[in-house]
Amino acid sequence: MIEQVLFFFAHNPLLMLFAVVALGYPISKIRVAGASFGIASILFAGIALGALVMAPGLDPGLKKDISKEMKLVYELGLAVFVYAMGLSIAQSFWAAFSREGMKKNAVVFLVMLTSTAFVVLLAKVLGFNARYAAGLLTGSFTNMPALAGVIERVKTMGANPVELAQPTVASAIAYPIGVLVPMLILLLSPKVFRVNLREEADGLKDYHAGHQKLEVWTVRVTQPEAESFSKRELRAVGRSQVVFGRVLRKAELLLPGPDFRLQLDDLVTVVGSPEDLASVVARIGERSHVELDRDMSALDATRVFVSNRDVVGVPLSKLDLMNKYQAIITRVRRGDLWFVPDGDTVLELGDRVRVTTRRDNIAAIEEFFGDSYRDLSEVSFLTFAMGLAAGLALGQVPIPLGHGMVFKLGFAGGPLAVALILGRFHRIGPLVWNFPYSANHTIRQFGLVLFAAGIGVISGEGFRAIVSKDASVLPLFLGSAFLICLVADSLTMLLGYKVFRIPLNVMFGIVAGTHTQPVVLGYANHHTGNELPNVGFATVYPLATILKIVLAQVLLALIR
């Protein structure tokens, strides 16, 4: 019965592909001690089913056909995933070139170079080849795009099926260690460095990662010096991420523009985090129990979705909502986080904005932003195809490295590079490159699922051959991955916290970002009880991804 099922799968590769997804995806949701393996579970399922289906007795021609179809699947999945990911992280990537961002990324750069050198040393000492070494690096740092780049490079070297499977085997064995060791480091580091995470977080006012919820306070102006500053200047003086909303002045409700000046006894609504709101109160007056935001007699508030592509990629200051509509955006929701905007904020498709305006302007505001669920559910496949095609073309451009060596960005690096550039500019003329957050997330997940399932099935035969020939590779690679992660994560903490003086709460996110591992980030947020790790993660994630794609392929040339 089992043989018949496996034979049926062999003759129906597309069915086998989604059987792998159906087997692996439920496993990805199982949590042990708060952690799960996510999409990697589909990779494991693909290896298992591939090992069974691609049995020694299967017709070689049929094996070749399956491999050819799965190759197309995983290349498609990889290209789609990295392109969508590049668009989503573009703003974080370019923002990382600030002074603070450079410090965080310097940590990642040094750690990744050291880790690569350490893998080379392990390979020399323990005697495993370059393909295993590159797979160990990608698995220890849980990065599938880097693994894909390695596989693509190995293919160009004329590898046989077993050699082609070697990076995937090493990566799959190392992957669990790449999740567990950083979590262990996060657990121990506050004790080692003697840091109270909550007390440290309370003293950090310059790190803003967004908030699960923003608050609205009504403040009465009682400080005479508050009259000396415009609304714009009040924000700048205290470096507070807040938005001033409606103002009640002598029974008249007003909407303050950027140059509006408060007067004594004004009541003003202020939106922000509790910490920033307390700072504003200390500068201008006292908190009032009047709930001014609930007064809808003249002004009203509405929440609208940004689905109009004409407002995407344009700074709010240039949209000039105050002069055009007598309106103020008081908060923006992107994904699961709220933040307060300023004049430089650029909206993206799928953002949810809360706007305060006069009641008779509500319909005009909704029309201006679009507010259409249907439009948000549609992806512009013209710009998607144009950007992805440009990335795939760039990936095939040979880059000479000297001494006869040629490097290509490939199916992973090419689309990622193009996406980072296009995502930086949002739009070129009428062409909007970004697409809604929810659509981007879905496309990324689907691409990653295709890649994991496809490469898993292809590697199954090689995995069976490698393990059956020498089972010692299991403890060898597990031990090697443990050492790689221990050295990398310990060095990350020492460099970041001791040398660059980055707060430990933020360092937790940098460790997660170095591994490009959302599971570790989730553990970091849970362990700290705040969202400061998100700051570190978002800052270093793009560079960490690019470095792994490049360094994993460099390993293939370094080890002989």
Give residue-wise pLDDT tens across range 25-70.
887 777 665 555 666 678 788 888 888 888 777 777 887 788 888 8
DSSP per residue, 475-511: HHHHHHHHHHHHHHHHHHHIIIIIIS---HHHHHHHH
- The pLDDT tens digits of the residues spanning 348-381 come to 887 888 888 888 888 888 889 888 877 666 667 8
CA distance 504 to 497: 6
Share of the chain above pLDDT 70, in %: 90
Has residue 296 got a pLDDT over 80?
no
Cα separation values, 200 from 195, 205, 471, Å: 7, 10, 47
CA distance 235 to 270: 11
- Cα separation, 460 vs 451, whole angstroms: 14
The Cβ of residue 404 has, within 10 Å, a number of other Cβ atoms equal to 6
d(CA 323, CA 325): 6
Task: Please provide residue 240's backbone torsions phi and psi, each rounded to the nearest 5 degrees.
Answer: -95, 135
What does the angle CA 362 – CA 368 – CA 373 come to, to the nearest 5 degrees? 90
Query: Where does the pLDDT of residue 133 fall: very low under 50, low under 70, confident under 90, or very high at 90 and above?
Result: very high
Backbone Cα Rg of the chain: 27
Structure tokens at 1: 């019965």
DSSP structure string for 333-386: EETTEEE---TT-B--TT-EEEEEEEGGGHHHHHHHHB--HHHHT---HHHHHH
SS3 state at 30: coil
- Computed over every residue of the chain, the mean pLDDT equals 82
Which pLDDT score is estimated for 403? 62
- The pLDDT of residue 473 is 77
pLDDT at residue number 38: 65
For residue 496, pLDDT beyond 90: yes
What is the Cα–Cα distance from 25 to 32, expressed in whole angstroms?
15
Rounded Cα distance, 159 and 172, in Å: 19
Give dist(CA 106, CA 110) in Å, integer. Answer: 6
Return residue ranges of the chain for CATH 3.30.70.1450: 215-375
Q: Is the pLDDT of residue 504 over 80?
A: yes
Distance between CA atoms of 334 and 209, rounded to whole angstroms? 12
Amino acid identity of 17? L
Higher pLDDT, 159 or 199: 199
User: Tokens standing for 138?
Assistant: 């990608």
What b/e sequence results for 377-398 when a residue is b if at least 16 CB atoms lie within 10 Å of its CB, and e otherwise? eebbeebbeebbebbbebbeee
Judged against a pLDDT cut of 50, whether residue 404 lies above it is answered with yes
CA dist 150 and 145 (Å) reads 9
Report which DSSP code applies to 227: G
Q: What pLDDT digit, counting tens, does each position of 338-347 carry?
A: 888 888 888 8
* DSSP for 405-418, written as a single string: EEE--HHHHHHHHH
Rounded distance between C-alpha atoms, residue 485 and residue 111, angstroms: 11
pLDDT tens for 431-490 read 878 777 777 878 888 887 888 888 788 878 777 777 777 777 788 888 999 999 999 999
Nearest to 447 by CA among 145, 140, 165, 149: 145
CA 458 to chain CA centroid, Å, is 27
Please tell me the pTM assigned to this model. Answer: 0.68
Lowest mean pLDDT among 143-147, 258-262, 306-310: 143-147
Ranges 235-239, 303-307, 386-390, most confident: 386-390
Does residue 234 register a pLDDT over 60?
A: yes
The pLDDT assigned to 209 comes to 47
Is residue 543 over pLDDT 60?
yes
Any idea which fold 215-375 has? Alpha-Beta Plaits (3.30.70)
β partners of residue 467: none
Question: What pLDDT sits at residue 491?
Answer: 96
